[in-house]
Amino acid sequence: MEYIGKTSLYSYLKSKPNRRLDETEVRDIFLQICKGVRYCHSRCIVHRDLKLENILLDSSNNVKIIDFGFSIFVDPDKKLNIFCGTPSYMAPEIVSKTHYRGNSADIWALGILLYTMLCGKFPFRGKGTFLKVFY
């Protein structure tokens, strides 16, 4: 197997002032993540656990998406009802335990990643805040 290194996007962000990146760097990293997710979706694979810890960076900031333990092969028109993933990145429909489209859940997680890289914090904190924002 290819050796990527041990730097996750999470540890990379932690090493930066205010735990955030400048917009140019975010653009370069996020574009690579999106291309990887688009490729998976084009093959009917939904990751379902996209998060900072599951994005590895090599010394040139090339991205590798890892940990496909929750991934699933699914018809894009089929809805899922499996509760899985990491709470801070879960789409509202997963949290509310309703049927959801796998691709949409990955897209939600991409939004969380983008916000976190730009702002240095998660967009939602705690159950109360999540419920106030969405319900």
CA torsion 41-44-49-54 (nearest 10°) is: -60
Q: Please indicate whether residue 58 is annotated as part of the active site.
A: no
Quote the domain boundaries for residue 108: 7-130
Mean pLDDT (the chain, rounded): 87
The amino acid occupying position 9 is L
% of residues, the chain, pLDDT over 70: 92
Whether residue 70 lies inside any domain: the answer is yes
pLDDT in tens, 78-121: 888 877 778 788 877 877 788 888 888 999 999 999 999 999 99
Whether residue 135 lies inside any domain: the answer is no
Whether residue 114 lies inside any domain: the answer is yes
* Residue the block writes with tokens 């691709």: 103
Task: Report which of 92, 99, 98, 101 is spatially closest to residue 72, judged by C-alpha positions.
Answer: 101
Whether residue 53 lies inside any domain: the answer is yes
Q: Report long-range pairs for 120-129 (Cβ below 8 Å, ≥24 apart).
A: 120/13, 120/16, 120/18, 120/19, 120/20, 121/19, 122/88, 124/88
Whether residue 2 lies inside any domain: the answer is no
Whether the model pTM is above 0.75: yes
Number of domains in the chain: 1
Q: What end-to-end distance do the CA atoms of the chain give, in Å? A: 45
- Ramachandran class of 19: left when φ > 0, alpha when ψ lies in -120 to 50, beta otherwise: left
Whether residue 15 lies inside any domain: the answer is yes
Whether residue 112 lies inside any domain: the answer is yes
Catalytic residue among 22, 49, 58, 75: 49
The CATH number of residue 25's host domain is: 1.10.510.10
Whether residue 1 lies inside any domain: the answer is no
